[in-house]
Every structure is written in C-alpha cells, then in structure tokens.
Amino acid sequence: MNASSPVEDFHAWPDAQGRFGDYGGSFVAETLMAPLAELTEAYTRLRSDPEFVAELDRDLAHYVGRPSPIYYAERLSREVGGARIILKREDLNHTGAHKINNTVGQALLARHMGKPRVIAETGAGQHGVATATVAARLGLKCVVYMGATDIERQKINVYRMKLLGAEVVPVTSGSKTLKDALNEALRDWVTNVADTFYIIGTVAGPHPYPMMVRDFNAIVGREARAQMQEQFGRLPDVVTACVGGGSNAMGIFHAFLNDRDVRLVGAEAAGEGLSSGHHAASLAAGRPGVLHGNRTYLLCDDDGQITETHSISAGLDYPGVGPEHAFLKDAGRAEYLGISDDEAMEAFHRLCRTEGILPALESSHAVAQAIKLARELPKDGLVLCNLSGRGDKDVHTIAAREGIEL
C-alpha cells in the first residue's frame, strides 16, 4: 500500500503474502516457512468447508455459549453523564474471556490437520487456560509456555491449566515474560512440526496467524453490529476495546471497518504514563520494526533491542501489536490512545459499583476509554465497548495493589 492512497475496502486485507499495507508478512526462520505454508493451506481450505464451519458454529453456540449479549450499562452511563455505554459481554463466554473464540477454532483446525499435540504461549494465563480447555475437550496433548515471572504472578491460572491436563513449561530466558514465552513456543514448534500445532493467542505472529486469529474473533463484531441494529436501530458512534496484542479489538472492530462513520478507538496500556517509559503502548509510543514474525509497531530501544514493558494488566504487557492495528493506525481508520494503570483501576471500581460487573484489568482499560468517549458525546450517543473478559483472575492483583491481604 502506498501510504497516500486511501484504502477502498478494509475487508480485503491481508494480501496473499499476509501483508496489511506495510505491516505483517512472514519474518521467520527458514525452518518455519514450511509449517506456515501447511497451516495457510489447511486454513484456507477449511474456512470455506461447510462441515468445518458447522462444527465451529456448534461449538461456539453450545460450548462457548454464543452469542454473547450486548448490555446497556444504564447506571454507569448516567453517572458518567454522557452518551449511552453499551457493553459487549465477552466476559460471559466459557472460561471468561474472548480468548476461547480463537482457541476453539484453532484446536478444531489442529484436529483436522491430524496434529495430536498443541502448544501455546501465555502471559496472564488466559490464553493458556483457553488452550488447555479446548485441548482437554478434543483429547489433544497440551504444552503451555509461560515466563517464569508470570508463573509467579499468576499462580491460580497455572494451577487451572494443570487441572485441565496441560503441562506448563516455565521460560527463563530474556525478560521471562510473554514475549519470551512466544520465542520458546516458536522454538518448540520448529523442533516438533510434524505432530504439533501452535495455537497463537493474539493477532500477531507470522502470516496466517494475524488473519486467522482475527477471523476466529470477528464473530464478536458481527454479533455486536447486528445486535446494535436490532436493539438501538443504528450503529454505534464509536467502538472501543483494549489493545495488547489486539485480538479482542480486532475481533470487534472488523465488522465495522467499512462503516466509515463509526469511530474506532483502541485503548493501550499507558501503565504509569506514556512519558514514564513504564508502559506497553506500542502504537501510541512505539515505532515500526520486526518482531515475532511480522512487521508492526513495537517498543524497542535505538539499537533495535526489544524493551521491557509495564502494565498493571498482564494481558496487555506485550511490546508488539497485531500488524492489522498498525495498518489501521497509519490509514487513519482507527485511533489508539493510552489508558494508565490508575485510570483502568478507577474504571474497574466504577463498573463493579454501578453495574455489578467485575471486569478483567485488561477490559477495564476499554471501560475507562468508553467513559472518556461517552463524555464527548451527547446523551443519545452510543459507545460500544468490548468487555473482553471477567476480572475474577485479577482479584489478588487488585487487593495487593490496594494493600489488602486476602
């Protein structure tokens, strides 16, 4: 894409090489090119296979619990004093987040490809749990790579994965967090390609992952778009979602990409503030580079070394971002703004108090962004916010931050 030429159809991306304009692609070691080609071929074939689609739809309906409702947060909206805030309730899915939409799809793909073993990387453990869950259901062997630092921070999810029959492998290289878990999972895959399927948890990584993970999550936006028409008689003025790797945001944005009047706003983790250096806002404060198989915005120093990130929310604590978000940013189709730890915490409490909904810390960033956006709009305005996950997993983190011993 030439940066100056306007994008005609946002649904036409990526191209055959997996590029979203200047971003995406397949920047991987030679040994991964063959398994990626095999995966692309299988996915391209199965995505239009009526039997596969029916099987996936059945699982989404009866195992995941789709469709998830949209919910008008009336008390929250009134308290904020602006437009109406509508929540897309992905927190009500089985396992408590949008992550399962993708793992159900990829695990079915693994079974169709005859791969008896699945691997995954995880940061907070949500994607690891969602992978272990579908692996248990399909009888697949499951290995989850997790940074040693994250294992310490997320003991409950580690135990959940073990209960589900997964092996959790601590990663002690680099910063011992999500990015290193992803490196380690890629190393496993390269070594065990014959029997192993790598379930990536976000819209990053080499082609076809950004496209495939987006496709599996796009049901969120398709449902929400129809639900808005049905219940409010029109599309929302703005759609917002939190962005770490960016899978829930891509999922809800996708159906709206060609609705040019609908503003799209991603909420990145500004941590202790964009100027503090302690954040994970790759789009708002990073630069284009190459990491984990794709060209995208990332956080690195002037010598190209990836820098450590910070967010109160482990799920947003990643130095890169999906390439399609990079593309949408440069094309001016979506905006990406920072929400600090404190703002996310405030939104967390506000949603608990006004609506009886305990959001994940990741999703609290989206709620904080929705509150800001609602204030800018008239009372009859509509802000659609993806409530990507529930916050039970974060109760310990929140208590510790507030000095409360459980």
Partner 1 sequence: MSTAIDNRLDRRFTALKAAGRTGLVPFITAGDPAPELTVPVMHALVAAGADVIELGMPFSDPMADGPVIQHASERALRHGVSVAQVLEWVRAFRRDDAETPVVLMGYLNPVEIMGVERFAASAADAGVDGVLLVDCPIEEDATAAPLREAGLRRILLTAPTTAEARLQRACELAEGFLYYVSFAGITGAARLSVDAIAERVADIRKRSRAPVAVGFGVRDADSARAIAAFADAVVIGSALVESLAGSEDAGQVEQRVRTFLEPIRTALDR
Choice between 41 and 392, CB closer to partner 1: 41
The count of C-alpha atoms lying within 13 angstroms of the C-alpha of 119, restricted to the half-sphere facing its C-beta, is: 22
Decide whether 36 or 267 has the Cβ nearer to partner 1.
Answer: 36
Residue closest to 177 by CA, chosen among 154, 157, 195, 204: 154
- Rg of the Cα trace of the chain? 20
Q: Who's near 299: CB < 8 A, 6+ residues apart?
A: 280, 281, 282, 285, 286, 306, 307, 309, 319, 320
Active site residue 99: yes
CA distance 241 to 275: 22
Give yes or no: 388 in active site. yes
Closer of 26 and 102 to partner 1 (Cβ): 26
Q: What is the DSSP string of 285-317?
A: H-EEEEETEEEEEE-B-TTSPBPP---SSGGG-
Nearer to partner 1, 132 or 306 (CB): 306
Q: Least Å distance between CB 296 and partner 1?
A: 11
Is 170 in a helix, a strand, or coil?
Answer: strand
Q: Which is nearer to partner 1, 221 or 320 (CB)?
A: 320
Q: Sign (positive/negative) of CA torsion 240, 242, 243, 246?
A: negative
8 A C-beta contact, residue 343 and residue 271: no
Q: Which of 236, 259, 246, 251 is nearest to 68 (CA)?
A: 251
Catalytic-role residue among 90, 121, 268, 324? 121
Whole-number minimum distance, CB 193 to partner 1, in Å? Answer: 6
Catalytic residue among 268, 340, 388, 393: 388
| Distance in angstroms (rounded) separating the CA atoms of residues 70 and 225 | 10
Q: Shortest distance, CB of residue 300 to partner 1, whole angstroms?
A: 6
Among the listed residues 88, 99, 329, 393, the single catalytic one is 99
The footprint of partner 1 (CB under 8 A) covers 17, 25-31, 33-35, 37, 173-174, 179-180, 182-183, 186-187, 190-191, 193, 287-293, 298, 300, 302-306
121 is catalytic: yes
Task: Calculate helix-pair angle for 30-46, 99-112, nearest 10 degrees.
Answer: 100
The full 3-state SS of 207-255, as one line of letters, equals: CCHHHHHHHHHCHHHHHHHHHHHHHHCCCCCEEEEEECCCHHHHHHHHH
- State which residue, 30 or 51, has the beta carbon closest to partner 1: 30
Provide, rounded to whole angstroms, the least separation between the CB of residue 28 and partner 1.
6
Could you give the angle at which helices 361-376 and 341-355 cross, rounded to 10 degrees? 80
User: Known catalytic residues?
Assistant: 99, 121, 388
